Structures are given as C-alpha cells and as structure tokens.
Amino acid sequence: MLQGWLQIALTLLIVIVITPLLGRYIAHVFLNERTGLDAILNPLDRLMYRAIGLRSMPDMTGWQYIRSVLISNFMMGAAVLMVLLLQPLLPLNPTGVGMMNWDIALHTTISFLTNTDQQHYSGETTLSYGSQVFALGFLMFTSAATGLAVGIAFIRGLTGRSLGNFYQDLVLSITRILLPISLVGALLLLAAGVPETIAGALQLKTLEGTMQTIARGPVAHFEIIKQLGENGGGFFGANSAHPFENPNGWTNLIETVAMVAIPSSLIYTYGIFTHNLKQAWLVYAIVLAFFIPFVIITAIGEFQGNPQVNAILGEISPNLEGKEVRFGWAQTALWAVTTTATMCGAVNGMHDSLMPSGGFSTLLNLFLQIVWGGQGTGTAYLFVYLILAVFLTGLMVGRTPEFLGRKIEKTEIVFASVILLVHPIAILIPAAITLAFPEALAGISNPGFHGLSQVIYEYASASANNGSGFEGLGDATVWWNLSAGVSILLGRYVPIVALLLLAESMSQKQPVPMTDGTLRTDTGLFTSITGVVILILGVLTFLPVLALGPIAEAFQLSP
C-alpha cells in the first residue's frame, strides 16, 4: 500500500517541479523572446511558413483568428478523411487492412481533428501504418497546436495584448514545443521497450503449438505525441494498457508526466504574461485542490476493492479487474484521474472496471474541464471561471467587477455563459435521446446505474474533447458515430469562438487604475471563492447524473 502512495506522490512532485521550467520556456516562445533552440529551429519555422504561404504575420482580430482556425481545420479534416477512406490504395499497409466504413471514418476524422481522439474501432485491425502515421499522427500535432494557440491568444487578450497570428502560433506550437519534447520522449520510450518499426504483424508459434499474430508498428513516436498533446488515441485497441504502448513502470511514468506537463505549465505561463506569479500559483492551487482529492478518492476505492467481493473473501482485496498487474491499483487510479483531468483520454486500464468512486472522479473531471483541462483551452476555461467569480463577487460586495485592470461587463459574461452552457447541452440532450431508446441506440452492456454512467460518460468524453470511454458500450454504430461527432464539434468549436471573442473584448478595454474599491484577484480569499463558484456552476449542473450513476452504484454495492 505504501509503495502505491509513494508512486503517486513522486509523480505529482515531478509535475510540480517541471511546471515553472516548461511554463517559463512556453512564455519565452510566445513573447517572441530568445530561446536556446532558435538557431536550430528557425530554419524549420521558415520552411513551414513558406509551405503554408505565410509571407507576413500581421496580428489578427478575433474573427480573423476564428476564421483561420476553422478554415485550416476544415482543410486538414477533409484531407485526412480522404486518406482514411482510400487507405487500401495507399502505401504503408503491410497488414492489408481494408476500407473503413464511412461513419467510422467520419467520426475518427472529427475526433482526431478536434484533439478528442475518441475511438470506435481497434487501431491494429482497422488502420494501416500510413493512416496511423500520416493521417492521425499529423492531426495529433496540429490539433494539439491549435488548442495551444487558442489558449495563448486568450491569455494575450486578457492581458491587453493583440491576439497574435494564428498561423504563427500554430507553427511555433509545433516546432518549439510539441516536436522537440516529442523527439526526446520518443527516444526515451524506444529505449524503454516501446517498438518503432514498419514491419508487418509477427507470426509466432505458441507453447501450445498454435499460431499467434502479434500486431506491431511505428508506436514510440506515436505514443509520445498521444500523451504530450493530450490526444489519447491508441495505436492499439487496448491503448496504453497494451504492452507495446506502455510496457513497464518507467514508460508509465514518462507518459503520465507527459500528459499533464503542458496544461500545468500554461498556468505558470499566464503568470509571466501578467507579471503576477502569485496569482498563477494561487490558480494552480485551485486545480490541485480538485485534482489531489479526486486521486485520493479513486485510489482508496481501488485499494479497498469491491465490498461484495471482500465479503466473500473475508478480507480487503484491491480491485484488479480491468487493470494491468504491472501498474496495479495505484498507478491505474492516478492515470484514470489524470487522463480525464487533462482531457488526454489515454487509458492504462479499463475505466468500465473502476469502482464507483473512480467513475465519480473521472466523470466529474469531464464535467468541469478545468482540472488541468484540455490543451490550451483548459487553461482558458479556468480563467473564464475567474472572470465569473469576479463578476459575482463584485455584485455581492458592491465593488467594481474588474479583472487584470479591465472591467467585466455584459459582453464578457455572455461569452463566458456560452462557454459554460454548451457543454451540458452537448452531453445531456443526446444522452437523453439515447437513453429513451436503450435497445435501439444505447448499446449498454451493463444495465442499471452503471449503464447510465456508460452513456453519459461517452457524451461527456466527446464534448470535453477527451476521448476515453467506459467501454463495454456498443458504440461502433451509425448513431453513436454521428451523435458523438456532433457533441465533439459543439464541445470544440463553439467554446473556441466564444473564447477568442471574449479575449478580443478584453484586449480592447482601456485599463483602469487599481483603487481601494478594486476587488483583488490574487488573494487566498478570492481564490477560495473561485473554487466555490466552480463547484456551484460546474458540479450542480450535473449533480442529478452523478446521483443516478456512480453515487447510486456505490450504494448498490454497499454490504
């Protein structure tokens, strides 16, 4: 037991140590300050600028930035969809996989384009190496870079700067952050036993004398950007529970730290942009105040196991169903909370087998979207809650609602409300339709409270651009592919539009001097109030779902 808790504590300590180092580097990149990689990567930047026809890099307005995001994403999505549909005719297909069904190809394209990477297929039997590398691998970089660019543009707007140029931000996100770290990470994973080959599947004779087909492929480089970019889509159907994606404790540590490194560091980056590291660390404390209890609740539940099984055994036995023994209860619990907190979506165990406390924590992470959150956008959501907290607190105490020296008015509250309301709409409406026709649409494998959680989780994962699943759900159908695809699109692009317009509105406001009547936002008291606002606005919206899902299931399992 002690070893498991020490593993969790060590991982969190590594993340906290990395935060200021990477956060400072990201700030240098997007403040156009010199970095140690300039001499090496400036030629690569220029090459990419020429490739996309970017001759100059003027600052964009909010709508120009939005149009650039939408148009570039549409073009990339169309190209990837064609690759998936035509993969039998394209090179790097040593296993001879055929054409994908149109609905699965469309869902997969939408999913990877939006940094969701929700998979309704098994990668080793459905996709060629070419599709994995040149289609999905390509989107793993560009979708993560898109989210990071939007997050940086949002921070610029909050601090009174222009939003910047999307295409420049996209290129810098790839060449200065995602690509260098991925190269180092891929080499570490390769050295630790993750394969990287274009050879086809291996045919081996087992000890029983039968033949077994062992899938393999160019996994190491795919795995690191999957984690670092908060993508989450697995090369194999078992994702990071597969021994070729995550063979041992060392690779598990690298991949866990990788998925939280950038979102945690962006909070520090915000502190540098605002010249207020105190507020950055206070905001960081808000996230930890949610994250650590979720990890503890989940880990205790997995260590204590199923009470009904324990009653039969006559002793406490950890819940190892759906887990890899090389990770055990502690690392599986930490990973489950981290992957849903960061919107990565990769799994090293089956979430369907988590105890109700684990289902509660993972679902609540997907509902809140601010416990680290998505690549770039999660940090932005966190500061949307800060803006709402300033507005509500200012109304209650009679002080002018201001954030970073700029007044919070009707326009900002409207955009903030849109960001928060689209998420429950994209989850609850399609889930209600699905549950109204459980036999025809839902595909629930475990009826009752757990079955409700399966359906809600799938749409929450889609709308939050997370991509993980409770599994056990028959989701490889036209209904699930199309309905989840709509939730993915709503959860990705509506908030991006609102975030950028909110940021532009803030950037155009004249700063006002701080007075005795100004509500300070860099205090422990205000930080605590923000945490309460998050609980009220984020948790109460989904409380009935939680009560009918994991909470009811926990009471059902109680002896």
Kindly give the pairing relationship between strand 211-214 and strand 406-407. unpaired
Classify 218 as helix, strand or coil.
strand
Q: Average pLDDT in the 203-209 region? A: 83
Q: Is 360 left (phi over 0), alpha (psi -120 to 50) or beta?
A: alpha
State which amino acid sits at residue 147.
Answer: G
Q: Average pLDDT in the 29-41 region? A: 89
Higher pLDDT, 200 or 412: 412
- Identify the pLDDT of residue 547: 94
- Identify the pLDDT of residue 179: 95
The percentage of residues in the chain with a pLDDT greater than 70, rounded to a whole number, is 99
Task: Give the residue among 321, 343, 377 at the shortest CA–CA distance from 468.
Answer: 343
Does residue 72 have a pLDDT over 70? Answer: yes
> What's the pLDDT tens digit per position in 457-476?
999 999 999 999 887 788 88
User: Per-domain residue ranges for the chain?
Assistant: 2-275, 375-557
291 in Cβ contact with 302 (< 8 Å): no
Q: Average pLDDT in the 98-117 region? A: 94
The one-character DSSP state at 89 is G
Highest-confidence segment of 43-47, 71-75, 312-316, 516-520: 71-75
- In angstroms, the CA 247 to CA 243 distance is 4
Q: How confident is the model at residue 161 (pLDDT cuts 50, 70, 90)?
A: very high
User: Which range among 125-139, 225-239, 315-329, 349-363 shows the weakest confidence by mean pLDDT?
Assistant: 315-329
- For the beta carbon of residue 35, count every other beta carbon within 10 angstroms: 14
* Mean per-residue pLDDT of the chain: 91
DSSP 111-160: HHHTT----SS-HHHH--HHIIIIIIHHHHHHHHHHHHHHHHHHHHHHTT
Does residue 169 have a pLDDT over 80? Answer: yes
- Identify the pLDDT of residue 38: 86
Does residue 377 have a pLDDT over 90? Answer: no
Q: Average pLDDT in the 159-164 region? A: 92
- In angstroms, the CA 346 to CA 261 distance is 15
- Identify the pLDDT of residue 219: 93
Query: 404: which 2 tokens?
Result: 């970073």
- In angstroms, the CA 24 to CA 242 distance is 34
User: Which range among 13-27, 189-203, 356-370, 397-411 shows the weakest confidence by mean pLDDT?
Assistant: 397-411
pTM: 0.94
- Identify the pLDDT of residue 396: 80
- Identify the pLDDT of residue 517: 67
